Each structure stands twice: as structure tokens, then as C-alpha cells.
Amino acid sequence: MRSKTFNWGILGAGKIAAKFVQDLSTVPGAVLYAVASRSIDKAEEFAEKHEIKVSYGSYLELVEDENIDIIYVATPHTFHFEHSILCLEHKKAVLCEKPFGINLGQVETMISMAKQKNVFLMEALWTQFLPHFLFVLDLTKSKKYGELLELKADFGFNAPFDPEKRIYNKELGGGSLMDVGIYPVFLSLSLLGNPENIVAEATIGSTGVDENCTIQLSYSNGVKAKLYSAINETTPTTATLSFEKASVIINGRFHEPSSVSIQTNGELETKEFPVTTHGYNFEAAHVQKMLEENRTESDSMTFEKSKQLISMLDRIRKEINLEY
């Protein structure tokens, strides 16, 4: 039986916040306590829809609320830094949406602030906590099918063109790499570590953001990862891991709860990982566990992993000449 409960605050009442709170309501011990929006009407509407106790018309009121244990930051990329810092300054634990910051400098400052304030901080890279992903990590680590020789992963979706909306808006950190390309890059980092060399090419659209991005990562042992992201095209969003003795496919969409197919000598076996939520409950439950253990850093989505991830994204952006 759980004894401890956690009062969650939601900062920013956008699309992902709505999905996240649906899953949060399934997590034992999680209390949907408060939501803050820049508009009180929007906050109240969100609170009513998701049965959240308190609504605020400013982010400041949320971080000042003494009853809140943890704040989920769900604003556009370019605000993750400012809003996480705001929470940390008020000694509030933070689960911040991906990408953690817009560059390594921001991420390092956020981490320093969390350490200085002795407060929990984690990037909401939810894939890290999904059962099928953990299965693939174990399978790779155990070398059950030998060495991993090549990785291919894509994530493309067709977002209707709107220069104002965050996906195409450069001021909000738009573009495919930071929004969805982060998942293939995260997968490569998780399976293969830091690459020796990165080659990338992008199609930069009229708003100045990458509408698609092709990336090749090379590792010192000769292994290659071939990655692709797009916001103007729907792609299978699968990951194929070619091992010496098998081909392992994380079926689409690989970054969210999915199944894994293993092909060996002409035989195909598919392993299902049934989940009844979107899958955000796994990261939320992990955060609560960390808080219960009085940790200020996740033992799974570590500061080091977030720093390595943003460093890879920085290196790729340098290759495609994309600066925010």
C-alpha cells in the first residue's frame, strides 16, 4: 500500500499537457493538483476537463503554491529553460518536456541550478521508461543476437503548415530535429553511445526551420546509425536494429508503447507489450519513486544522458547550420 501522495502542477495547458494528465490520473499516489496557463479561462477549462483542483492564470502563481511537490513543464522548447529555472528558483521539483533545453549551455545551467537548490530535475524523455524500449536495451546489452552492426530509425509526421504554430515557428524552436528527430537520436545514444562522427543534411523551409533532416552517425567500431526526421511527411517511424544473428524491428511508432519483431533465419516472432495508456504514466511513476527516495537526479534518465543527448543535437544542428 502506498502512503505518500504527490501534488502535481502542470505548467502550460497545451496538447501534450492534456495527454500527460490523462496518464497521470492512472498513477497511484499522483494528485492532479493544479494547472497554470497564461490565460485563466484556459486554465479553468483545462482544470474542469481533467478534474484538477486549482487553476492559475499565471505560471508564477503555480510555482509559488506551497502545496505543490512537482511541476511538469509543457511549454514550447524555447521556454523549457526559463520555466524550469522559474520552478527551481521556487524550490519545486521539475519534470521538463523534451528537448530539455535548446542547447547544451541551457541544459548545464538548469542542472547546476537544480544541484544548487538541491531539487529534483528530469527531462521527460518518456521512451526511456517504456517496457518495449527496456526490452530492446536489455537484448542489445546481453548480446543475445551478437553485436549490433547497424541502426536505422525514422520519425516523420505531416504537420499542416502554419508559420505561427510551434512546429514551424523558429522562435519556438520549431523544426523536425528538436521535435521528433530527438527520438532516433536518443535511441542511437541509448544503444550505441556517443558517435565519433556526424554527417547531417536538412531541408530548411520558408520559416527557417528544418522540415526534414537526414543524419548519419559513425562509431569507432565501424557501426553506423542512419536516422531521419520530418515534419512535412509521414514515415513508418520504426527502428531496425541489425545484429549479427537477427534483425530486431521496433514497430511504428517506436518511441511510444509498441511491439518488437525479431527475425532470425527466416522466422519472425513478434513480442507485444500491451499498455492501456499513452505511456506517460511510466515516467511519472518513476519521478514519484525518485522523490520518495529523496533523490534530486533520476537514476535512469540521468543528467549525463540529457547532456549527451543535447550535445548530439547541437552537433547535428551545427552540421545543418540551424541556430535558434
Ligand X SMILES: NC(=O)c1ccc[n+]([C@@H]2O[C@H](COP(=O)([O-])OP(=O)(O)OC[C@H]3O[C@@H](n4cnc5c(N)ncnc54)[C@H](OP(=O)(O)O)[C@@H]3O)[C@@H](O)[C@H]2O)c1
| Site residues, ligand X (CB under 6 A) | 12-17, 37-39, 42, 74-77, 79, 97-98, 124, 126, 166, 172, 179
For the chain, the distance separating the N- and C-terminal CA atoms, rounded to the nearest angstrom, is: 47
Rounded CA-CA distance 174/157 in Å is 14
Single-letter amino acid code for the residue at 144: K
Rounded CA-CA distance 81/170 in Å is 16
Cα dihedral: 167, 21, 253, 174 (round 10): 10
Rounded CA-CA distance 68/162 in Å is 36
Comparison of 76 and 257: residue with beta carbon closer to ligand X: 76
Comparison of 6 and 79: residue with beta carbon closer to ligand X: 79
Give backbone dihedrals phi and psi of 15, rounded to 5 degrees, phi first: -65, -50
Comparison of 213 and 246: residue with beta carbon closer to ligand X: 213
Give backbone dihedrals phi and psi of 158, rounded to 5 degrees, phi first: -100, 100
In this structure, are strands 197-204 and 247-250 parallel, antiparallel, or unpaired? unpaired
Comparison of 207 and 218: residue with beta carbon closer to ligand X: 207
Residue closest to ligand X (Cβ): 14
CB of 205 to ligand X, least distance (A): 18
CB of 50 to ligand X, least distance (A): 13
CB of 12 to ligand X, least distance (A): 4
CB of 38 to ligand X, least distance (A): 4
Comparison of 16 and 137: residue with beta carbon closer to ligand X: 16
| Residue length of the chain | 324
Rounded CA-CA distance 208/229 in Å is 16
CB of 77 to ligand X, least distance (A): 4
Residue 83 corresponds to which cell in the numbers above?
520555466
Is 18 within 8 Å of 46 (Cβ atoms)?
yes
Comparison of 62 and 246: residue with beta carbon closer to ligand X: 62
Rounded CA-CA distance 161/170 in Å is 13
Single-letter amino acid code for the residue at 110: M
CB of 97 to ligand X, least distance (A): 4
Comparison of 128 and 242: residue with beta carbon closer to ligand X: 128
Helix (H) or strand (E) holding 108: helix 104-117
CB of 148 to ligand X, least distance (A): 25
